[in-house]
Amino acid sequence: MYGSEHSSSIGMAVAFPVRSKRAFDPAAFVATICEGRKAGVFPRVFPKKQPIFAQGDAADAVFYLWTGKVRLTVVSKTGKEATIAILNDGSFFREGSLAGQARRMGTATAMTDSVLAY
């Protein structure tokens, strides 16, 4: 099946195939990735109030919050702490590592018992 036609730079009509649109399912995506990992490593449970990573740690992974709630904070040079986000089920976070960010810009702490994949 073909979708709309578009004119090319030389005036000819070109028909492009229509692709079915499937919604992206992050949980299914993460589960597929985790299948190939060593048993017991992924996913990981973080109990309430447990730090997940600290500001300044190496940025070596992207996290997916399967269930739970996570608080992201930063601390200024003067020592003042600010909450920058509270994340819920189905959130990806700390994707700066994909763009070459070498260090974590903030701290993540489990607000409830949380299950993360990374």
The residues, ordered by sequence, that sit 6+ positions from 111 with a Cβ below 8 Å of its Cβ are: 48, 49, 68, 69, 70, 71, 86
We report the CATH number of the domain holding residue 26 as 2.60.120.10
- Distance between CA 118 and CA 116 in Å, rounded? 7
> Is the pTM value of this prediction over 0.85?
no
Model pLDDT for residues 7-59, shown as the tens digit of each residue: 445 555 655 565 666 777 777 766 666 665 554 446 899 999 999 999 999 98
- Distance between CA 99 and CA 115 in Å, rounded? 25
Domain of 13, in residue numbers:
2-117
Model pLDDT for residues 56-88, shown as the tens digit of each residue: 999 888 888 999 999 999 999 999 999 999 999
Residue 114 pLDDT > 50, yes or no? Answer: yes
The residues, ordered by sequence, that sit 6+ positions from 48 with a Cβ below 8 Å of its Cβ are: 110, 111, 112, 113
Which pLDDT score is estimated for 8?
47
Query: How many domains does one find in the chain?
Result: 1
Is the Cα dihedral 106, 107, 110, 116 positive or negative?
positive
